[in-house]
Structure 1
Amino acid sequence: MIESGALKRQFGDSIELNGESEVYAILAELSLNGSSYAILQSEAMQGEDAIEVFRIVADAEGILQLETVEDDDEWEAVSEAYDDAQFGSDDQP
């Protein structure tokens, strides 16, 4: 598992994804089910309150990389965990 905050330490508060000229703010880094994730948002996405979810992985040299989350269930679980962290959970103990 990647240490929380490692992506921001490596890239700062924003990141430009390969192949895209758009800069994404790093809104959050979180761990779920043994994997680490980044929640990103471009300026254009702010108006729609939309986010992107990426898995954070380290290459052989320890450089952090982002992987697209292809699985809808995984994406939803991470998105929900982010919402819960930001706004609190509706679930009552």
Structure 2
Amino acid sequence: MTEDFEAAWRQALADSRAQLESAHEHTRSLQRALISNRRIGIATGILMVQHTLTDREAFDYLVQVSQQHNRKVADIAEDVIYTGHLPDPPA
């Protein structure tokens, strides 16, 4: 009976560790998404001021440029934040 108990305990511990690691990864993913969302919001605000756009129009503009360049919206947003401009249209 003791061996069965130890085996069950080890399995429960391994399962708990796996669940904890999964929860940590989920937390890290949510943190990255939150940061990305904030950066996209900053870039949206810059475009709103520069081009007299609504928040929706500015976001749609970021998405459109993202698709044209085949890059993530967050990467385009970083360009806008650091340069103040959208990247030139692709050739």
TM-score (structure 1 length as normaliser) = 0.25
Question: Which structure carries more relative contact order (alpha carbon 8 Å, separation 6+)?
Answer: 2
The alignment's TM-score, normalised by the length of structure 2, stands at 0.25
**Which structure dedicates a bigger proportion of its chain to helix?**
2
